[in-house]
Structure 1
């Protein structure tokens, strides 16, 4: 349990309502005594944590971007395949028409 939690519990359970409201017993600000080295360690720890979080966020963003670009590439390949298939169908139809004309020309020549 943290010291502030202990203080709050004591105030709630053992102090009268006047004592709970009194600024002498409950100051607006609570000052903590800490060494400069402790503050620097905490600051360094927070900086490391922030850098790690930023790295993770960038990785997630890049992964989402990569997935989006892959999806776009797959869509493009599907559209291109459809166009190629359509072109093949058109060229097959043209070949069939040309072959039909050749056969009809041969029939005309025979007759």
Structure 2
């Protein structure tokens, strides 16, 4: 359970995924639509209780939008520069509301895709 389960599920879906540290799973992702369509990025996720609890908001590398700190609405609000997993990543505070038992990596990836629904 946890990050190892997340890693296993990403790899089973064909993603190039690896354990960055014990706290983060990273994988390569090509943005499917919106302002960053076609851009290759890395996503880092921390999910110590996956699949019971979804990952916390995603970390993106490279930084995609200006840091805004707390508050504000998507897409520009709640974007932070944290040193997790490294300073190359940018944290987007985007909790997955409505996560329920039985959800898996497919559900979380669908959520990630919605984050790019803007121009």
Work out whether the TM-score is over 0.5.
Answer: no
* Structure with higher helix content: 1
Shorter-chain TM-score: which interval? under 0.3
Q: TM-score, normalised by structure 1?
A: 0.15
Where is the strand percentage greater, Structure 1 or Structure 2?
2
Which structure: larger Rg?
Answer: 1
